Amino acid sequence: MSGGIFITGTDTGVGKTHFSVLLLKALRKNGWDAVGIKPFCCGERTDGELLYEAAEHVEPLELVNPVWLRVPASPYTASLVENRAVDVDTARSAVGQLRRRHQFVVVEGIGGWRVPLTGQLCMSDFALELGLPVLVVAANRLGAINHTQLTIDAILARGGTCAGVVLNEAMQSTPDAATITNRGVLEQLLPVPVLGQIEWGSTELDPALLSVMQRQLLVP
């Protein structure tokens, strides 16, 4: 099996896909055979399509996003509305295929850590099965400290490996006390490192963040 990382978020809409795309592009630019996968999409398939584009179409979209439900909700909720089961086995198989064929795989979760896939299985269960280190993306806004700590506590409580946190400027806004200080406070409070920060409108991964990740996390 190849190396890889699982990207989770403190919530939906915090910038997991944006970070995953920037990471994939940077790795490939630096000579890595890296691909991404969004095992589950609900609503639009945009996240899967962006990962497919970032990896330069080396794998088909159907493998990059193997399970797609049309209702914009959690996979479990969408499956109830659509009256069809979430095909977790297909998602597992797709991740395995990519890990066998490529040097590094970026696996992006859906929503947050505890989003339900079925009545018995959560995104966290799926992630832990893969055995990959987990990276947490948090939106740099009021509430980030609480949400980030809760997510990391949940990962560690289940015996997962949390590689660290990346803060994302998820929206263009006037800096306030929270956004200015969140990183420093999290660095003091968390048992894992804050690896870096993505500024609003970034089209490339900060070289310093890429260097940290390559050095600490991405060596196969």
- pTM of the complete model: 0.95
Q: What b/e string do you get for 159-179 counting C-beta neighbours within 10 Å, with b at 16 or more?
A: ebebbbbbbbbbeeeeeeeeb
CATH of domain 3-216: 3.40.50.300
173: closest CA among 197, 145, 148, 200? 200
- Please state, in angstroms and rounded to a whole number, the distance separating the CA atoms of residues 92 and 63: 11
Say which amino acid occupies 112.
G
Angle of helix 123-130 relative to helix 88-101, nearest 10 degrees, comes to: 30
- Please state, in angstroms and rounded to a whole number, the distance separating the CA atoms of residues 100 and 122: 24
Catalytic site positions: 38
Per-residue pLDDT of the chain (220 residues; tens, 9 = 90+): 568 999 999 999 999 999 999 999 999 999 999 999 999 999 999 999 999 999 999 999 999 999 999 999 999 999 999 999 999 999 999 999 999 999 999 999 999 999 999 999 999 999 999 999 999 999 999 999 999 999 999 999 999 999 999 999 866 667 889 999 999 999 999 999 999 999 888 889 989 898 888 876 655 4
Phi/psi for 30 (5° steps) reads -95, 15
Q: How far is CA 161 from the centre of its chain?
A: 14
| Contact yes or no for 87/40 (Cβ under 8 A) | no
User: Cα(first)–Cα(last) distance of the chain, in Å?
Assistant: 10
